Structure 1
Amino acid sequence: MIADKITALYCRLSQEDVQTGESESIQNQKLILQKYADEHHFFNTRFFIDDGFSGVSFERKGLQAMLQEVEAGNVSTVITKDLSRLGRNYLKTGELIEIVFPEYEVRYIAINDGVDTAREDNEFTPLRNWFNEFYARDTSKKIRAVKQAKAQKGERVNGEVPYGYVADPNNRNHLLPDPETTHVVKQIFAMYIRGDRICEIQNWLKENKILTVAELRYRRTGKCRHPRPHPTCIYNWPDKTLYDILSRKEYLGHTITGKSYKVSYKSKKTKKNPEEKQYFFPNTHEALIDEETFDLAQKRIATKHRPNKINEIDLFSGLLFCGDCGYKMYLQQGAGTPERKHAYTCGKYRNRIRTGEICTTHYIRKSVLKELVLADLQRVLSYVKTHEKEFIRHANEYNAKSMQKALSRQKKDLEKATVRMNELNILFRKLYEDNALGKLSDEQFVFLTSGYDEEKETLTRRIAELSQEIDKVTERSVDVRKFVAIVRKYTAIQELTYENVHEFIDRILIHELDKETNTRKIEIMYSFVGRVETGDQPTESISYFRQIGANVKSYAI
């Protein structure tokens, strides 16, 4: 019976509507809807309310609850103050009015817009829906412009404060260290750079009853983005949260804005902006982490370290590369195999059957490599400590030459790409003029230009990439003094550890064995400075290798 069915009175208010005044308030909408229902003899009324929800999104609790009743066949009529209360998405609003409601025999009324689906004069309803969506699009554009302006000035747009900080009560855009959580951030970084796995950091957090970021936010503000976890899980930190913390430059004392953007005003999905589109403001607040610690953490994140079969991260994980094809080197070991039998091989060679790519094994025992690296590290440490000024001068000269060489090559490629792009632009302009003057038909124009479209897109991307590379090379000044600072931390190194290997070394290149001389070249690239030449004579070292010269070593198998 229709008399037993619900008359759904739907109210919605967004943050933008609040600014328009009392006429759009939930209370005012309720009064209007109830008065209309009473005067027109609609009975069994029930309110469905969404307070603070945009009309663009249809994932609203009140709306979804009403639609569930509609689909259950419990609703006879839906009444709103106007069409925009139902929604500001042209397609979805139209779908409800023209498909969903008719299918369930639901009458829809928008009081102020004069819409009543029981009549036959609703031709202008789609047009009104389109205007409502246009309003939402325009509002979204204005909000984005305001947020963009704030981001360009270094203001925090979303109000979120990085874990480990609190907003300054006198200036919400200034951050202060949080006495309650600062030590947690420092501990996470300290454990990570010394080689602890993420699960070990998670265990430490749980054992010390450190609340997750979301739980701490809820206890402080009463707000939460997702349903709260079970009380036994409030100390269970997700991997993603830890990696986010380890990657945030805010802990160096900098402010970064414009890090993400919404894909559309109709969607809540956000995407990360590339670094060149973000805004960087250095030294805006107190740093919690020093640059050396942060750089080590980024190096480890970039190499995606994974535990081996005995649940330990390998000493050289992420540092070894094939000196001939550039592919990563991988550790080979068997369960229970003594470490002296562990060895590294080229990843491209290892995957040759699956990929069809060809390289050679580049096999080298782990024990041999440890001996080589330790000897070279001791050589470099001794040289820098005793010839610091000379080392700084030589390193700066070498880096200046390398930078100039890279710049010259990249500028040449950029000039070549720019010239070709200019040629294509002239060609397109000429073809367009011929087409406009009738010398060239539309079909001929499309045929002649279609082959160049893809080339233009490729050139545009390449020009952008080269410009960015040139900027990076120009801005980069290899900080030799950072390397010297690392050296000063150590009196001597008698044994390799994960921490000292990854602190000193950026990468190690393993070349294939030279069968004529029975030697192999190994190149060690040190953090911040690359190669380190000392001028020392090659040093004999047991039977594993014949000579170690500078940081390029040859040894006999």
Structure 2
Amino acid sequence: MKAALYARVSTHREEQKNSLHNQDLIAQKLATDMGMTIERKYIESVSGRVLKNRKAIQELLKDARNGVFEVLIVKSVSRLSRDLVKSKEIANQLERLGVRLIMPEDHYDSDDSDNTFNFNLMALFAEHESVKMSEKIKLGIRASAREGNFTGSVAPFGYRLIEKSKRLEIDEETGPFVQEIFNLYLYNGWGMSKIGNYLMENNIKAPGGGNRWHQNTVSGILKNPHYTGMLVQHRTSTSKFLAESESYRLRNSVEENNQVSIENAHPPLISHKQFQEVQNLIESKKQNRSNGKESLFAHIAFCADCGIGMNYKADRRKKGAYVCGGYVKHTKKFCSSHIIEEAKLIETISQDVSSMVEGQHNRNAFYDLAKMKASALQTTINQQITILDKEYKSLDDDFEYYVSLHKKDLCTDVQLLNKNTDIQTQQSEILERKMELEREKEQKKDMEANIHAFERIIDRFLKLDIRDKDILKSVLRQLIDKILVYENQEIVIHYKFLP
């Protein structure tokens, strides 16, 4: 009889009895005693609560459907999953496929019909144990934070982390830049974009090690209370519930009175007074910010290279032109101008629309053109999804590296948990962007209805007096999803109603 082994170690520290080696030995002995041969082994190092992230279990279920093995040996239900529902889901799938499930440590064999209650009980215990282990680690992190230890994985810009003491100390190289950022904003009246430009012009590396200082990066520094010497931690917590995609756990904001705040935990870079004055200034600028009249292509035209919206400048190119917002805020250190006249944008769109309907005497020709544009857009979306998948896989590989360090005792439980949290946050952002792209693909499936609507909007556009900017703006928003402007003034138009 053909058998298979599934073995797993979790991302947390395990006793030696749960090692992959011992799980293998237990399965080999059981198979020999029962006259079976282990044909396949499925091994992984991953949390047992998120099923979709487990490549080995997915491969196992695929092979089970293809009849690769008849019996699956798993040391215990806790190796199968630490979630009651997921454990039952896997067991039910195996049962439907006619695969016998044996878990020696739990004295479970699916061929014994009386064992269903025992399976559910063992799965419940495994889930309870997982929750207790997670809470224990969280309590350890909070206790460490209360002692003034920094529990994050990356020190704030301007500080460095002393590994042995888990304390922050001022980084002599980057610390002065933090002080300068606060001084420029508070005393020189500089905005966040101007500060970012100044730092890029002076070749100061951004917190992530890159060359670009985004406005959000400067804003994050100005709003970070760590620079006053106060340690503020446990601002978010991981929920026990999975996100809709079941690929990561939801994170919740923690109320301020439940956060861990320690005064004088490390040397300050600025005073409390300076920090509060900066927060007041930021808030006052928010309230005084005016929402002026939007330009014709606001929220439609974007720089094809940096992705930032194009800004309208009435004094450029005589009759007004659009310039890359990244260039406007951060100068050529960030991106080139991509300048293009408003009149040229209108002319190019008019020519593109005219070319779509000119000389097309039957609906089939119009469908062919729509399909051609659809294919190009679908290819672009699929390419973007492929890039996101690679980024997601890269983060998985990064986590596997930290797991390997953890096995060698080169990485603590706290460091591994923090790294896992950071990676989950990044992966959740990737999945959200991927879901947006998938939704975009879904929205373009009803081709016939879309093209009928598209034809009506085109007819209206071609009859417009383009001198009436308000009506033109309204039609453009119905007609166009976005316009990408390239450095050589070439533009690519994405229409809303073409799939």
TM-score by length of 1: 0.45
Q: Which is helix-richer, 1 or 2? A: 2
TM-score by length of 2: 0.49
Which structure has the larger Rg?
A: 1
Q: Which has the higher contact order (CA 8 A, sep 6+)?
A: 2
